[in-house]
Structure 1
Amino acid sequence: MGILAFDIGGSAIKYGLWEADRLIGQCAVALPKSWKCMKQALDDVFKEFSKTYEITGIALSAPGLVNEKIGQIQGVSAVPYIHHFPIQQELEALFSVPVTMENDANCAALAEVWQGTAKDVEHCLFFVIGTGVGGSVIINRKLFKGQNLFGGEFGYMFLNDSASLSDLGSSVKAVRKYNQLTKKSIHGKELFELAEAGDPLAEEITGQFYRAVATGIYNLLVCFDPGLVVLGGGISANQSVVEQIKKQLNRVLLERSVTDMDYRIEACTFGNDANLVGAVYHHIESIKS
């Protein structure tokens, strides 16, 4: 028996089967062009796993404002065709097993609370850095979603009169800026390596990035005082980047005379599997209740 987990992303659908307390069979398919094609792709994966395992439920991680009370994904995302219709009901009709769904950043946070970096704490903030900036608020080991499901949408935070945290604290946008100015086509890891090697432009752009991320985390620390901030997204695997964020945050705290703040910043444990593992945990807890 197992729980089949899907993670809908902007370019692909990742999947894996939770069986015997572990995630197996992780793979991905390219993002389909329509909801009809997506249903077919999901069903193909389901049928393939069903040849070997009895699947007892579907756990879905998705972008947007996931409203499980009405079985719909509200808001907007990079996958527009999954929004504003009874998607949960359609999937339950398709698979004939219980289907649960949760926001992707919330799933990643739940994975860390369940078995990862935050497994021994009561409160934390999960901070995801990538194309934009998102995250989750964990209070008493539970998701705090807010009245309108905007809890954790840190990227909307304005850092100045014209730019949000997602504008200035995105590693993807930092790389894009470097490429636009140099007419090159480097990737994210290369930007930070160039900065460490002394490339003046890379140093300037990564410095702006670190400052923006540190300012965003500072704003959250003084609002929630969680004790732990867990970093997610691709850059969390780069310990040098994590250390630079910590260094810049300490500077911001000193500048603002916040000298009695006890906190930790740690990279996430599950990396690319976090959304799948968290979706499974959400499914297990939902079925219990």
Structure 2
Amino acid sequence: MIKYDKGTLRMRNLAVIDIGGTSIKFGAWVDEKLVTMDSEPTPDNLDDFYDVLKIKVEKIKNIYGDISGVAISSPGAVNKSAGRIDGASAIPYIHGFPIFDKLEALFGLPVSVENDANCAALAEVAYGAGKDNQNILFLVLGTGVGGAIIINRKIFHGSHLYGGEFGFMQVNDHETLSEACSPVNLARKYNEITDEDLTGKEVFDLADQGNQLAHDLREKMLESLAVAIYNLQYSYDPEKFILGGGVSNNPRLLPLLREKIQQVTARVSIADIEPKVELCKFRSDANLYGAVVDFLQEHE
């Protein structure tokens, strides 16, 4: 692995990359500030993937001069000790081989790679809703439910790299948390019954307009999420939970969820800690910010 002069790291610039299933975002960390640049469609093969990354990093070098490293947010179970990306994602060709070495050779620079949800959590700890906290749990409500565990302001990966994969938890009626609490699955359940084609946000809003089915489905979703948060509070005992994902933009989510958490906590008479839940600060650039934090933690 390429080594870096740690003593001058904060005085240098970084290229920053957020690898997604449909597009790859690029930015630069310059004078301790993130400068977002542009994005490219995610290629369907490894050779083109390497070409896109190399061209973009060279462009960043040309614009900002001395680049000291490349910070990367990636899907999949990032195995830092083995220098590869395990698990599976929408980009199958990046998995299962020592890609860290390939990327460092491609750029001729030190590289850091971290899972995208973990990067989003690191961004919140460094600059967002968790900046004053040591220990948080980060939950992302999207197509499924993902997240991250932060202990002492660093990612806890777990023994099998499944730390923060809250979506695998079983909740009601043998559903996983992803099945029970994803906005995508909220919409799917409603549409299967009504034969409509609504989004999760539209179903969420219908519940406020008096639609009984939407209300009942939303209540079940919030109940499952509140129970999961309660259980995680008394398992990991974080200072707070931070919620991300598209549904976090809905102003009704937080007050409804807090009310449900109060009800769940009240069922256990000896429970004297009510989980504290806040919304994330960062949206589209969270993974880029977090990739920088990961690089600084890894190379300092």
* TM-score computed with the length of structure 2 as normaliser: 0.90
Q: State the SS of the aligned residue for 1:150.
A: coil
Tell whether the 8 Å contact from 1:4 to 1:58 is kept in structure 2 after alignment: yes
Letter in 1 for 2:55: D
Q: For residue 112 of structure 2, what is the amino acid of its counterpart? A: T
- Does the CA-based 8 Å contact 2:261-2:274 persist in structure 1? no
Of 226, 234, 254, which residue of structure 1 is paired with 2:238? 226
Indicate yes or no: 2:32 matched with 1:50. no
**Number of aligned positions between the proteins:** 288
1:180 alignment counterpart: 192
From 51, 76, 82, the counterpart of 1:40: 51
Q: Return the alpha-carbon distance in structure 1 between the equivalents of residues 199 and 216 of structure 2.
A: 17
Letter in 1 for 2:59: E
| Counterparts of 2:275 and 2:172, CA distance in 1 | 25
Instruction: Tell me the distance in 1 between the aligned counterparts of 2:200 and 2:31.
Output: 36
Q: Give a deviation string over 1:110-135, Cα, whole Å, max 9, x none.
A: 11111111111121111111111111
1: distance between equivalents of 2:41 and 2:104? 22
Q: Where does residue 265 of structure 2 map in the other structure?
A: 253
Partner Cα separation in structure 1 for residue 95 and residue 146 of structure 2: 19
**1:155 to partner: Cα distance:** 0.9
Q: Bigger shift: 170-179 or 64-73?
A: 170-179
- 2:213 matched to which residue of 1? 201
- Closer/same/farther in 2, CA of residues 139 and 25 from structure 1, 3 Å limit: closer
Q: Which moved more, 1:28-37 or 1:143-152?
A: 28-37
Counterpart contact for 1:16–1:26, Cα < 8 Å: yes
1:74, CA displacement in angstroms? 0.8
Structure 2 gaps of 5+ residues are 1-11
Aligned structure 1 segments of 4 or more residues deviating by more than 4 angstroms = none
**Counterpart selection for 1:273 from 285, 289, 292:** 285
CA distance in structure 2 between the aligned counterparts of 1:228 and 1:257, rounded to whole angstroms: 21
1:221 Cα deviation from its structure 2 partner:
0.8
Q: How much does 1:262 deviate?
A: 4.2
Where 2:49 maps in the other structure, the secondary structure is helix
| Cα offset, 1:34, TM superposition | 1.7
1:178 and 1:27 mapped to 2: Cα distance? 37
**Which residue of 2 is the match for residue 115 of structure 1?**
127
Equivalence for 1:97: 109
Q: Deviations over 1:51-109 (max 9, x none)?
A: 21132211111122101111101112232221101111111111111110011111111
Q: State the identity as a percent.
A: 43
Structure 1 residue aligned with 2:28: 17
**Aligned 8 A contact 1:227 1:262 in 2:** no
For residue 28 of structure 1, what is the amino acid of its counterpart? S
Give the Cα–Cα distance (whole angstroms) in 1 for the partners of residues 242 and 57 of structure 2.
32
Aligned in 2, Cα 1:258/1:186: closer, same or farther, shift over 3 Å? farther
Hey, what does 1:106 align to over in structure 2?
118
Deviation at 1:161, TM superposition (A): 5.7
SS in structure 2 opposite 1:272? coil
Counterpart Cα distance in 1 of 2:135 and 2:127: 15
